[in-house]
Chain A
Amino acid sequence: MRQSTVEKGAAMLTRFANPARFMRLSGATLPWLGGAAAGVLALGLVWSLAIAPPDYQQGETVRIMFIHVPAAWMALSVYLFVAVASAVALVSRHPLAEIAAQAAAPVGAAFTLVCLATGSLWGRPMWGAWWVWDARLTSVLVLLFLYVGYIALVNAFDDRSRGARAGSLLALVGIVNLPIIKFSVDWWNTLHQPASVVRLSGPSIALSLLMPLLVMAVGFGLLFGWLLLLRMRTLLNERKAEALRLHGQPAPPRHRPTGERGDAAMPAARPVLR
């Protein structure tokens, strides 16, 4: 009988989601991803700070937008990633899904913090206020609390699987906040301006300002990819080490200093916790 597309997709996902294969692939990808992130962010920074012209209304403060807006996009996208990974973890109990969600959450929280802080630094000269309790700002603050709550909940239990399950449920419930953030500027009369890039009628900002913003967005996306792989590898290493300490043989005497390639030094034939 022929395999359906869904079955083929699931088989491929299972193939690449094998932790040992993940370690190999991510180890090969990390340097390229890190290099690409550094390069694109360097280009974005030069463009944002030195090449882009000042806005005719906002003046030089428009440069804050080149980090504020991409950080806001990442804050929302990473939360969606955490929620989807949590759903997969709850349904399939795949260890990589749980680890992906837990590795991504602090990165999403950092992007949310950057979004709020840079928005505040823009708001003071442009609105005359560091903070206003309008729907957009408040819902993004709730997003930060959701991230912090998820991280706290995951680490709150001695039994890790209970913490992961509780965190996953919170991440799924919190997804209701995403459309509220996106459409808050349309549903309520907010001080925060409505969307000017992601709109059905196309971006309403000049290309000279849109370009550095998009370059920074790509840079933040690459940075997220690098951080995600790095943090997932860390969690896998730590869990494997913990399992070895609990159930494995006692650690042999150390014969040589081990460096960052320590995990890669493991021979494929050694049958440990694959």
Chain B
Amino acid sequence: MDQVAGWLMMGGYGGFVWPAYGLAAAVLGGLAFQSWRRHRRSGAALARLQTPADMPRQ
């Protein structure tokens, strides 16, 4: 338990190390999520426009 607490403290620099990783995860993870969601939506919107009633299904 003390080992984990010591690791989280980061030698007294935990207040700088963890926010740095958190911020990087938030910015890059947020961009990845937004890009993935927009890709999904764009694919679905295009499929709606392109799918006629007589089209063979996959």
Where the two chains meet, the residues of A that have a C-beta atom closer than 8 Å to any C-beta of B are 45, 49-50, 54, 59-61, 63-64, 67-68, 71, 106-107, 110-111, 113-114, 117-118, 121-122, 124-125, 223, 226-227, 230-231, 233-234, 237-238, 240-241, 244-245, 248, 251-256, 258-267, 270, 272
Contacts and interface: CB of A to CB of B under 8 A. Distances in A.
Contact of A71 (B11, B24, B49, B57): B24
B21 A231 contact: no
Contact of B47 (A106, A227, A262): A262
Interface string B24-46: 10011001100110111011111
Contacts of B21: 45, 49, 63, 67
Given A67-B20, A113-B27, A263-B46, A237 B51 contact: no
B13 A234 contact: no
Contact of B17 (A64, A71, A252): A64
Interface of B: 7, 10-14, 16-17, 19-21, 23-24, 27-28, 31-32, 35-36, 38-40, 42-53, 55-58
A230 B45 contact: no
B31 A260 contact: no
A42 B42 CA distance: 29
B56 A267 contact: yes
Given A107-B31, A110-B27, A114-B24, A60 B46 contact: no
Contact of A234 (B19, B38, B56, B57): B38
A234 B50 contact: no
B10 A266 contact: no
Contacts of A114: 23-24, 27-28
